[in-house]
Amino acid sequence: MSGANSAAGEPFSGEPGPGGSSSGGGSSGGGSSGEPSSDLAGSGEPSSREPSSGEPSSGEPGSWDPGSAAPASTQPGSTQPGSARPASTQPGSVGELADLLRSTSGTLVPVGAGTKTGWAAPATSCDLLLRTSALDRITEYAPGDLVVVAEAGVPLAALQRQLAAHGQMLALDPPEEGATLGGVVAANASGPRRLRYGTVRDLLIGVTVVLADGTVARSGGKVVKNVAGYDLGKLHTGAHGGLGVIASTTWRLHPLPPAAATVTARLDGSARAGRLAALVARSTLTPTALELCWRRGASATTGELVALFESIPASVHDQATRCAELLAGEAGGLAVEVGDAPPAWFGARPTGPLVLRLAFAPAALPHVLDALPPGASGTASAAVGVAYAAVPAATDLAALRAAVAPYDGSAVVLAADPALRPALDHWGPPGDAFTLMTRVKDRFDPARRLSPGRLLGGL
């Protein structure tokens, strides 16, 4: 067996993310910005800590990207009117967070580790950065139940380390190093293993959220099946803090898979990428991930496709062998290799002046790749219908959106240089659901004080 290194070398300009070389399941990879303050793993006992004042304090924005929020206040209740740097505060408990929202009236933007502050549209107003770094406790973990409760500021990587000690994982693998649970939920961030395990909405079974008026709302619980009440967690997933501040999260866990194998196929065009991905997706094989790394050249798209299998050793060996045989029959003589770890690009997001997230019907993968301009490159979860693309800064977004629309496709700006952001149409056309989204926003945040402007249509 030989390791499967990228045929395309470094196919996009960015460094592979820290999760890129992960061979274990569900790791966000790399280091984290800190351990949770609690070492309660397995104890099942909640921790306690002295509350902090909860008063807004002038703080260093740290990793906050000033280009991602317009801090000049346009709202009453500003803590620093017109300031280039908004004040920040770190509530240390759900109660403090609720008090803060009850006792202030300005605009707030929650910040976890600041790893995705460039995602979503820039906030139109930010009087106060609400940092979740002091909400950093794993409050309940009973390994036998495969459920964990952790506060929003707990870094995903730190949680994974605690769970791994018990042979378990949270099966989410977004690559952003240091990402907090709250940020992962609010940005609906996922990685390659979503094919097998689903995304945030599938794994989040409970949430505690503080609403704009200070109301503490809880939904879900510690059982995997939950039929009572509204599933608030699904609503707040992907809402970028625009509907409430996530304070605590309850997750369904999985056992860490004991073995892994990869099958890598080199590609000579988008059509072959589509055919190979469809072959695996329609087979009886059960890959954990099916990832494509691609570069759009002047005449063709090249790259490689990797199927990742994670299970017990016998199953992994059997599936990888069958997958390699299946792909070899369709690979047109191009190399198909079996390895034991994903390549460096696996799970990374591309970087560049303009990075897009495309979502589309999975069968449309070749059409979507062909719609991208020459020079574009990135990764794609081939069987899911999601691609991350670094495209030239001058890309005509409206034309690209029109080209992918027939495939149930959308293209949102994932990240862009601060100089480009003000002129970008971040989300694209609002679509039919906008009226409903506006009503949801009106209900949860009528004064428009939470992450204003971050969502579709300036919500």
Positions in the binding site for ligand FAD (CB under 6 A): 188, 199, 235, 237-239, 243, 359-362, 384-386, 408, 412, 427, 437, 440-441, 455-456, 459
CB of 339 to ligand FAD, least distance (A): 27
Picking from 333, 350, 332, 370, the residue whose alpha carbon sits closest to that of residue 414 is 350
CA distance linking residue 389 with residue 400, whole number of Å: 12
CB of 437 to ligand FAD, least distance (A): 4
CA Rg value for the chain: 22
CB of 327 to ligand FAD, least distance (A): 21
Nearer CB in complex with ligand FAD: 92/110: 110
Residue bearing tokens 């073995």: 259
Nearer CB in complex with ligand FAD: 13/435: 435
Nearer CB in complex with ligand FAD: 38/199: 199
Question: Which residue type does 73 have?
Answer: S
Nearer CB in complex with ligand FAD: 119/294: 119
Nearer CB in complex with ligand FAD: 37/410: 410
Nearer CB in complex with ligand FAD: 235/344: 235
Token pair for residue 426? 């971040």
CB of 71 to ligand FAD, least distance (A): 23
Token pair for residue 299? 């005449």
CB of 401 to ligand FAD, least distance (A): 12
CB of 198 to ligand FAD, least distance (A): 9
Nearer CB in complex with ligand FAD: 8/416: 416
Comparing every residue's Cβ against ligand FAD, the nearest one is 238
β-pair partners for 435: none
- From the number of C-beta atoms within 10 Å of its C-beta (0-12, 13-18, 19+), residue 229 rates as exposed
CB of 172 to ligand FAD, least distance (A): 12
Nearer CB in complex with ligand FAD: 202/370: 202
Nearer CB in complex with ligand FAD: 235/341: 235
CA distance linking residue 189 with residue 116, whole number of Å: 9
Question: Which residue type does 203 have?
Answer: L
CB of 243 to ligand FAD, least distance (A): 6
CA distance linking residue 314 with residue 299, whole number of Å: 42
Nearer CB in complex with ligand FAD: 142/403: 403
Token pair for residue 1? 């067996």
CB of 199 to ligand FAD, least distance (A): 5
CB of 417 to ligand FAD, least distance (A): 20
